[in-house]
Structure 1
Amino acid sequence: MTDKTTMTDNMMTSLGLDRPESGDDTVVPFTLDKLDTRGRTVRLGDALDTILSRHNYPAPVARLLGEAVVLAALIGSSLKFAGKFIMQTQTDGPVNLIVVDFDAPDGLRGYARFDHDMLVKAAEEGRTKPAELLGKGHLAMTIDQGEHMERYQGIVALEGNSLEDVAHTYFMQSEQIPTQVRLAVAEFTQKGDHRPHWRAGGMLVQHLPEHGMSHIPDLPGDGDFSNPETADPHFEEDDGWNEAKALMATLDDLELADPELSSERLLFRLYHETGVRVFPPMPVVERCTCSADRIEDMLSTSFTAEDREEMAVDGEIEVVCEFCSTAYHFNPHQFDVKD
């Protein structure tokens, strides 16, 4: 019987890798050179479970927020500088607000706000698909390059469509790059677990221009994110792009979220006949950017002494981070000298 080491070596050879396969909480870039296509896959395990479990969201809300986190990881991980990619939805649906931050190079955090009564009614009527929970409104994608730097923003209307559909629309409208996205979120229970754990996977593929990669802006961050004039308007859907899309369409949700299926194995399964070039994985972690100093500065500069007195309960101001639920406590009079 072939031992485990030999089986692993054989798998590495078949995948054409000179490194171990990537695991959870990673983004793996790849190119399909023969199909003039590039892309990224993401697999999220503990990072996503921490984000979703922290607030004990109802399952439909958790799945929708999970999709948003995957999409933000696919797009935000392309940033080539120290900045932040922010994705936000504001809608009239049961889940009326979603905010996901990707803090380059690897930090993720996310938060969802929902109307309990509307969510219960939607569940009673069987309207719990992500697109139905979003409703109508808009999705904004913003790149914040830091203090003293210009922010770039693109906005797409939400009209009862899914986040996958919105991503397709965004890239065509903002950068005129044919793009396909797949997102999947699921709960898995493994032996010894005291509760199910959330995990997710996603894939993004994009058609390259006729001139090659040097003439296409990278995923948001290496070009003008908000100005379609910087993108090449002369894309045509050729046979290579159609084949790349057709093969990607064979993916099911279980494959994307399967804890036993690495990104490399998934790509090999999909594209081994046409050839796929896989690049080193990039780690992703759950990380909040809140801090006592930031909140203290906000309380000091954005509110008057009277405002802070009104905020105080039993002589103390409590501020709870909506993302990570960390509670910060301040004495309302500690700001008097600064004022």
Structure 2
Amino acid sequence: MVDIETLGPGSIDPAGDDAVLPFEVNGLDVRGRAIQMGPALSALLARHDYPLPVSKLLGEAVVLAVLLGSSLKFEGQFLLQTQTDGPVDMLVVDYRTSGDIRAYARFNKERVAEMDKDGLSKPELLLGKGILAMTIDQGEFSSRYQGIVQLDGVSLEEVAHIYFAQSEQIPTLVRLGVAEMITREDGGTAHSWRAGGMMVQFLPQASIGVQRDLPGGDAPEGHDADGEEADEWAEAVSLVSTVQDHELIDPEVPVERLLYRLFHERGVRVFDPIPVREKCSCSRDRIQGVLSSFSAEEITDSIEDGEISVTCEFCGAKYDFDPQEFLG
């Protein structure tokens, strides 16, 4: 744990890209996490030929899932998934507490192109109406926890606010930013992606130890969800609301410097960063195990050109199997 307000933002090693930085502001009873993503996000999006609006939307979903999933205090999985009637009818982000993340977007190419041509490719419009489900899985010996939020023309930032207000009853503010970066390289141009995010939550000291970020719980002691908001929380919201999108993603403004700008007068502490890396969990053995559970009829129906081919939607890896492995 490091006091940024005492040492200054330049006196500690920055977390850098692709690392979640937990922090707390005791003077405001606020805790949170912040991140800037670079190489991991670029690698994830490069696995698919997504249109720019879809890449940006999926990037927002990835940052949101990392901010939420990295709060888990146990080994497990956090899954964010949308099902909607929009041009992007499905987003799936799979975050493991090991730091591994993978993601996938399913979209209608013609509908996305039409909206983009008309200047209507805002994330909330690409999603359309439907649901967003957030699932926490602690393993085969524990029950899953799932929260569901209705999607109806709202952004992913707003979805997070709705979720915490309805299911968690914890005052929460989320900021997300994603942008494509174009740089000159070897006489041409290189494309990459950067993203950033910050989540702050009002958790008075009296409630720490009994209150969890995820899954849900009662409102913090002294907080009336239907009454006036606490002065400390109002101040935190006012400060975080000054953050511009470019600050969230700018490599010249690391998260430590941004946190110092926002909270140094109130006393901000940061904790050890949590690395994040783009890594798919698919494997030949895992897919073979799934196919082994198929009936003979299902195996036969899966045969094309004398073999069974399975392609991972997340990473694009292709696995070929001899049907006789499962029909013997």
Verify same fold: TM over 0.5: yes
One-letter code aligned to 1:271: F
TM-score normalised by structure 2 residue count: 0.92
In structure 2, the residue matched to 1:272 is 264
Do 1:88 and 1:97's aligned partners in 2 also have CA atoms closer than 8 Å? yes
In structure 2, the residue matched to 1:63 is 56
Q: 2:290 aligns with which of 298, 323, 329?
A: 298
3-state SS in 2 of match to 1:121: helix
Counterpart CA distance in 2 for 1:15 and 1:24 is 16
Counterpart CA distance in 2 for 1:150 and 1:215 is 20
Do 2:36 and 2:249's aligned partners in 1 also have CA atoms closer than 8 Å? yes
% identical equivalent positions: 53
- Pair 1:331 & 2:322 matched: yes
3-state SS in 2 of match to 1:266: helix
Please list every run of at least 4 consecutive aligned residues from structure 1 whose deviation after the TM superposition is greater than 4 angstroms: 230-234
In structure 2, the residue matched to 1:198 is 193
Residue ranges of structure 2 left out of the alignment (5+ in a row): none
Counterpart CA distance in 2 for 1:294 and 1:128 is 37
List per-residue Cα deviations over 1:2-50 (Å, max 9, x = no partner): xxxxxxxxx9942385x41111000001111111111100111111111
Do 1:247 and 1:270's aligned partners in 2 also have CA atoms closer than 8 Å? yes
Do 2:299 and 2:326's aligned partners in 1 also have CA atoms closer than 8 Å? no
Do 1:95 and 1:112's aligned partners in 2 also have CA atoms closer than 8 Å? yes
Q: 1 or 2 for the larger relative contact order (CA 8 Å, sep ≥6)? A: 2
Counterpart CA distance in 2 for 1:267 and 1:199 is 19
Counterpart CA distance in 1 for 2:265 and 2:173 is 20
Q: How does 1:82-101 map to 2 (within 5 A)?
A: 82-101=75-94
One-letter code aligned to 1:59: L
Bigger strand fraction: 2
Q: How does 1:59-208 map to 2 (within 5 A)?
A: 59-192=52-185, 194-208=189-203
In structure 2, the residue matched to 1:34 is 27
Residue ranges of structure 1 left out of the alignment (5+ in a row): 1-10
- Pair 1:43 & 2:36 matched: yes
In structure 2, the residue matched to 1:244 is 236
Q: 1:314 aligns with which of 279, 283, 305?
A: 305
Do 1:305 and 1:332's aligned partners in 2 also have CA atoms closer than 8 Å? no
1:31/1:210 CA distance change after superposition, 3 Å: closer
Instruction: Give the deviation of 1:195 after TM superposition.
Output: 1.9
TM-score normalised by structure 1 residue count: 0.89
In structure 2, the residue matched to 1:284 is 276
3-state SS in 2 of match to 1:196: strand
1:16/1:27 CA distance change after superposition, 3 Å: same
Counterpart CA distance in 2 for 1:51 and 1:333 is 34
